[in-house]
Amino acid sequence: MTWTTHLPLIAILRGIRPDEVLAHTQALVDAGFDAIEIPLNSPDWAQSVQLAARAFGDRALIGAGTVLRPQDVDQMVAAGGKLVVTPNTHAPVIRAAAQAGLVSCIGCMTATEAFAALDAGAQALKIFPAGALGPGYVRALKAVLPAEVPVFAVGGITPENLVDYLAAGCIGAGLGSDLYRPGQPVERTAERARAFVTAYRSAQSDRT
């Protein structure tokens, strides 16, 4: 399996509104991000996905997060999204994403959940909540997973600790409140996006 974007960092715009999604997505793309999720518990999330996908779909993988039901997958596809991110391991959602030809990053915590997600067709795994579990836990779980499976750390990831999760075997991370909080100015999003990109590239340079 290979991840489909150049930068394996997923921007999580939880709580973003349709009237502000284009400006923040522009800031992220300008910083180098090419994977962006809009969680379903955001206001008018489908409209935001549609707007972002129309404007940036040729430069970034746009989709939805906190996807809990197969119906949500259908609604996201109708909005033009191509990325499904879940907080949990729910086989019907994973199969719906696979059948639609979407990129999926499926939430799991245990080895049982991780292998159930892969059996259902998950393309990548999201270890959540990584911040509470720590890089040691992620390293132990990664040791029993197929080496080719892309693993992301999500939950509590900052520019300062990103390197620890990359060293534990993750290819990247999903970035939530340390990147974007509802209502913050675009300038703040741009600043945090640059900090994460710098941290990722620095970690990659140190490993080569």
Active-site amino acid positions: 37, 126
Residue 85, number of CB atoms within 10 A of its CB: 28
The Cα-based distances of 16 to 4, 85, 168, 186 in angstroms read 24, 16, 31, 11
